[in-house]
Amino acid sequence: MCVLITGAAGFIGSHLVERLLARGERVIGIDNFDPFYSPEEKWQNLAAALRHPAFRLIEADCAELDELERALGDSHVDVVVHLAAKAGVRPSIQDPLGYVRANLLGTQAMLELARRRGVGRFVFASSSSVYGNNEKVPFSEDDPVEHPISPYAATKRAGELLCHTYHHLYGMSVLCLRFFTVYGPRQRPDLAIRKFATLMLEGRPIPFYGDGTSERDYTWIDDVLEGVLAAIDRTASTAAPEYEIINLGESKTTSLSRLVELIADSLGTTPTLERLPMQPGDVRRTYADVSKARRLLAYQPTTPVEVGIPRFSAWLRSRGSPPSTLGTQTRHSPRTVDARGATRAHAPTASNAPPGPA
């Protein structure tokens, strides 16, 4: 089986690449190394995969359909896993047009790529952000999601609707996976757990929004990967094409105050808090009902934050000084990298807001 993964150099994407290669699949990864955070760090994420003969990397923009077609050539693809997106609630408020281009046009382009190539299996990375400030907990896939409170959330919900359209029109099997605050090794540096831990190690204050009672359903990376792998397999196993939206979370909430306490304890530090008001676009809580994931994917999350946070802190300490989190907005011609380190350049196209990895 050949799996095409977008956002392959990102946090979740790079782990998924390695898991698929380990079980004997061929993988084509697509990433444009968007400078939302260090491109160097993303290349490090793929260091092992780039040495594997069954992995091929295409450095290109998901929203540029024609250049992707040229880069793929006559490559056969069995299933598309679309993880690439501009991520983050607060940044989306500052750059809504960039998020629309990356997350809507990028998703539309990947669905169209699948249709043109006769790929009938598609897995889409959505987000718990679509639930907004849902009062009912835990959040169920059947809950109404017509009131997103950030451009990021709106683009993720719109992506789910585009996926349904392609399922309806072209008979694709599509699973939309709503991720709930995934963390673990290689987590993006802007996300709370890594950001807080890094600041604590540097002896700097951490931004503490609100009164500490906001809650998140933190999900360990390996638990999420099991769900994604099961979703990939399910798209090939059903008798008829299906469209499903499925929550992937830990189904347990942790308050902001408790999270800071767990990180500080695991690092042996005493945190200094910079108390700030709640930010526009932030939700009060996330909490996944995973009964559907258990039923359809045999999903069984096993890593509570009390176990995951110390594991994450050990990883962060082991990696030493990280590369700069600041990238350079450079648009290269798309290129392909294989296990031998060879590169092939493709025709360049202009792009001012390429989507980053998921």
Supply the residues annotated as catalytic. 152
Q: Which of 225, 238, 258, 256 is nearest to 13 (CA)?
A: 225
Report the relative pairing of strands 26-31 and 2-6 from DSSP bridges.
Answer: parallel
Q: Which residues contact 287 (CB under 8 A, 6 or more apart)?
A: 137, 138, 139, 215, 217, 249, 251, 253
Question: What does the longest C-alpha to C-alpha distance in the chain come to?
Answer: 56
With CA atoms as reference, report the closest residue to 16 among 81, 65, 71, 79.
81
| Torsion sign across C-alpha atoms 303, 304, 307, 310 | positive
Residues 219-240, buried b or exposed e (16+ Cβ, 10 A)?
A: bbbbbbbbbbbbbbebbeeeee
Residue among 258, 282, 263, 257 at smallest CA distance from 198:
263
Q: Two tokens at 54?
A: 């069954």
Q: Please, what's the b/e burial string for 48-72 (b: 16 or more CB within 10 A of its CB; e: otherwise)? A: ebbebeebbbbbbbbbbbebbeebb
d(CA 181, CA 48): 25
358 contacts 87 by C-beta, under 8 angstroms: yes
